[in-house]
Structure 1
Amino acid sequence: MKYIYLGWTTTGRMNYAREWHTASVLTNGKVLVTGGFGEGGAGRLNSAELYDPSTETWITTDSLKYPRSGHTASVLTSGKVLVIGGLGENGSLNSAELYDPLVGLWITTGPMKYGRQWHTGSLLSNGKVLVIGGMNESGGGLKSTELYDPSTGTWTTTDNLKYSRNGHTASLLTNGKVLIAGGLSDHGGLNSAELYDPSTEIWTITGKMNYARNLHTASVLANGKVLVTGGFGKSGRLNSSELYDPSTGTWTITGNMNYPRDYHTASVLANGKVLVTGGENLFGLLNTAELYDPSTEIWTTTGNMNSARNLHTASVLTNGKVLIAGGDNYIVLNSAELYQSF
């Protein structure tokens, strides 16, 4: 049975309940979900599954070589998916794996120099993948960054961050540079931001955010600016939002969300608006969703999700709909739902 609620419809359930997983839109339009943390003592998962938007169903595919949560997944220019690091059964992982959609199989590729979790991974315009920061198995923050070259299947270390951080965001700007913002260091929350230039492989400091935050989101808008939303700050969960302008290297405050939240998702829609979903605040888990209009810098509420959730994924499908999968609602969820803007 399908349920419809103001722009949201339920869709097929995943075969496995999961949170802290990844979701990647493949070149064939299907969505690959990998790993995460399972329900009922299942622990970290090595399972992977595919969502087909044409049938709204999930099928299992080849399992990861290593169970992992808090990892990253990047769709390479070849169409393969690179899964990196995360938390395994025995601590932070340095292993990486490649999924080939044409054959539906995983293979191991070169390991990183450092095991890490809660890091970010960004596909650069040159086809390499930049992995940034994160946390090591002892809980310490990392300054190290590494580059994966798909042509050789190997990693090389590159310039260190100015500040160790995890729980940050990473955004590929239209000029090819990578902006990282916020996160947690060993000394607390950060409002600092840094820029990576692939042509020089060097990090430089850029303007500071107005608010320190971690567990926030960052979205590159059609105008090239970066919208940062919510997260956890010095006074608790935030409803504030800020815009980074790459042309000036500065941040400006923009409209506040209607609800403070962290552990939420943000998706740039085909119409240029940004959809924020779920998360958590002082009063518990959220089923609320909001839309940011860059032309007015105002947030408006949209229909609520069918299930409150955090630690979920959000994927913009090729048909323009947004697929929400899994997460936590005091139990780990296998449910999924679709958002369509009107």
Structure 2
Amino acid sequence: MISARYAQTASILTNGNVLVAGGSSVMGGTLSSAVYNPSIGLWTTSGNLNTARMFHTQVILTNGNVLVAGGTTDSNSGLSSAEVYNPSTGRWTTTGDMSNARFYHTASILTNGNVLVAGGTTDSNSGLSSAEVYNPSTGRWTTTGDMISARYAHTASILPNGDVLVTGGITDSNSGLSSAEVYNPSTGRWTTIGDMSNARTFHTQVTLTNGNVLVTGGTTDSNSGLSSAEVYNPSTGLWTTIGTMSSARFYHTASILTNGNVLVAGGVNGSTAFSSAEMYNASTGRWTTTGDMSSARYAHTASILKNGNVLVSGGVSGNIIILSSAEIYG
């Protein structure tokens, strides 16, 4: 990338390019954004954000624009601001503020094109239970039902029926949550489902091609990683533990490949950052190791390119060096 960063966000634009926005440099939150063009293998700078932010969220809207919401500039106080990127002009414009400042939250595109933002924290000390919905047509946010458990550093994914599954996170201590809940966009209400077998935060969560949800790794205490993984079946409402990863890790990435398998890359355990990667075979439920990355990294991003390859960018290395490097798996 053009500048080193971690805790940034990344999205695949409709033209196949990758937009990376915000994150933290040596001096804290950054305004900069950059675009990677896979056709020529080059990065170019794009318009600056209006507000420097890290640990924010970023989603592609149905019109191809990109919504960035919340985050923090200093890891101490959250932001309520949001802005929209227009790929045609390369510029960011502010949109309506959220009702709550928040970072370490989640953002999910609903089937009607609106965006659900849930949880997060305003100060890294206590979680939020609040949730709100962004309407791209009006540029406004409306509050919706609160989650049953306040949480931040959790994960969220869309289920086949359009509901949103939220798992894990932290409430008001350094201990992870095992609880999970589901949001119904039609009613605006949350319902609890069975707990995961492990409490976890800073984990990953992806919806598999069969509609089940894979949760991997994470940590219970923000220091020691987990190697465990489990799968949620929306049809039965049950969790099933599966084979463990070869390395316990959190702050890693998980990407669904075109063949339905899941690539997990990087992460950290204690003070050890990983260059290792491993593959989950959704058909067998087993893990196998695959080629290492060139650089150990965590708090990075991973993006599935249109050719099926995976672009990994930025992050932090084991010696606490913020990375500008990027590499491709495939």
What percentage of aligned pairs have identical amino acids? 52
Unaligned runs of 5+ in 2: none
Q: Distance in 1 between matches of 2:287 and 2:204?
A: 15
Q: 1:284 aligns with which of 269, 272, 278?
A: 272
Q: Distance in 1 between matches of 2:195 and 2:78?
A: 30
The residue correspondences of 1:99-248 to structure 2 (distance < 5 A) are 99-137=85-123, 139-187=125-173, 188-233=175-220, 236-248=224-236
User: Residue by residue, what CA displacement relative to the aligned partner does 1:18-41 show, whole Å, maximum 9, x if unpaired?
Assistant: 0000001000100000000013xx
The structure, 1 or 2, with the larger RCO (C-alpha pairs under 8 Å, 6+ apart) is 1
User: Residue by residue, what CA displacement relative to the aligned partner does 1:7-28 show, whole Å, maximum 9, x if unpaired?
Assistant: xxxxxxx111000000010001
How far did 1:102 drift? 1.1
Q: Distance in 1 between matches of 2:149 and 2:117?
A: 15
Give 2:328's aligned residue.
Answer: 338
Say if 2:296 is the partner of 1:308. yes
Q: What secondary structure does 1:232 align onto?
A: coil
Q: Which TM-score applies when normalising by structure 2? A: 0.97
Amino acid at match of 1:233: T
Amino acid at match of 1:221: L
User: Residue by residue, what CA displacement relative to the aligned partner does 1:19-66 show, whole Å, maximum 9, x if unpaired?
Assistant: 000001000100000000013xx3210000000000111000110000
Amino acid at match of 1:108: T
Q: How many residue pairs were aligned?
A: 325
Q: Distance in 1 between matches of 2:271 and 2:186?
A: 46
Say if 2:52 is the partner of 1:67. yes
Amino acid at match of 1:296: T
Q: Distance in 2 between matches of 1:317 and 1:63?
A: 24
Amino acid at match of 2:179: S
Contact 1:221–1:272 (8 Å) recurs in 2: yes
78-87 vs 42-51, which deviates more?
Answer: 42-51
Unaligned runs of 5+ in 1: 1-13
How far did 1:283 drift? 5.8
Q: Distance in 2 between matches of 1:48 and 1:233?
A: 32
User: Residue by residue, what CA displacement relative to the aligned partner does 1:48-92 show, whole Å, maximum 9, x if unpaired?
Assistant: 000000011100011000000000001000000000000025821
Q: 1:37 aligns with which of 24, 34, 40?
A: 24
TM superposition outliers: structure 1 runs of 4+ over 3 Å? none
CA RMSD of aligned residues (A): 1.2
Q: Distance in 2 between matches of 1:109 and 1:209?
A: 36
Contact 2:28–2:73 (8 Å) recurs in 1: no
Q: Distance in 1 between matches of 2:28 and 2:181?
A: 35
Amino acid at match of 1:300: T
Q: 2:246 aligns with which of 239, 258, 265?
A: 258
